[in-house]
Structure 1
Amino acid sequence: MPKLVKDGAIVDNEWTLMAKPEGEAAEAEVPAGQIIVPLSAWLAQKDKLSARDDIGVWIDTDETADQLGEDAQRFPLVAVHFPAFADGRAFTNARMLRERFGFTGELRAVGYFLAEQACYLRRCGVNAFDFGADREQHLQATVDALQDFTEYYQASVDEPLPLFRRRAS
Structure 2
Amino acid sequence: MSDRILKNGRVVEDDRLIVQLAEGEAAADIAVPAGPVLVPLAVWQARRDELLARARSGALGVWLAAGEEVAALAADLEVLQVIGLHFPKFTDGRSYSAATLLRSRYGYQGELRA
| Count of aligned pairs | 109
Give the 3-state SS of the residue equivalent to 2:53 in structure 1.
Answer: coil
Structure 2 gaps of 5+ residues are none
- Structure number with bigger Rg: 1
Correspondence for 1:67: 72
* TM-score, scaled to structure 2: 0.87
**Which residue in 1 is equivalent to 2:4?**
3
Q: Deviations over 1:40-64 (max 9, x none)?
A: 1101111111122211111101312
CA RMSD of aligned residues (A): 1.3
Question: Matched residues in 2 for 1:4 and 1:93: separation?
Answer: 20
Q: Does 1:19 align with 2:24?
A: no
CA contact (8 A) 1:21 1:28 kept: no
CA contact (8 A) 1:21 1:41 kept: no
Q: What are the residue-to-residue correspondences of 1:108-127 with 2, within 5 Å?
A: 108-109=113-114
**Identical pairs, percent:** 39
> 5+ unaligned residues in a row in structure 1: which ranges?
110-169
Question: For the residues of structure 2 that align with 1:91 and 1:70, how far apart are their CA atoms?
Answer: 21
CA distance in 2, matches of 1:94, 1:31: 26
2:63, 2:83 within 8 Å by CA — same for their partners in 1?
yes
- Report the TM-score when normalising by structure 1: 0.61
What's the CA shift for 1:101? 1.8
Matched residues in 1 for 2:67 and 2:21: separation? 12
* Residue number in structure 2 paired with 1:97: 102
Q: Cα distance, 1:17 vs. partner? A: 1.1
Say if 1:56 and 1:75, in contact at 8 Å, map to a contact too.
yes
- Looking at structure 2, the residues matched to 62 and 28 of structure 1 have their Cα atoms a distance apart, in angstroms, of 22
For residues 14 and 105 of structure 1, the distance between their equivalents in structure 2, rounded to whole angstroms, comes to: 18
Q: Deviations over 1:22-42 (max 9, x none)?
A: 311111111111111111110
* Structure holding more helix per residue: 1
* Counterpart contact for 1:72–1:78, Cα < 8 Å: no
Query: What is aligned with 1:137?
Result: none
Q: Distance in 2 between the 1:5 and 1:100 partners?
A: 25
Q: Which protein is richer in strand relative to its size? A: 2
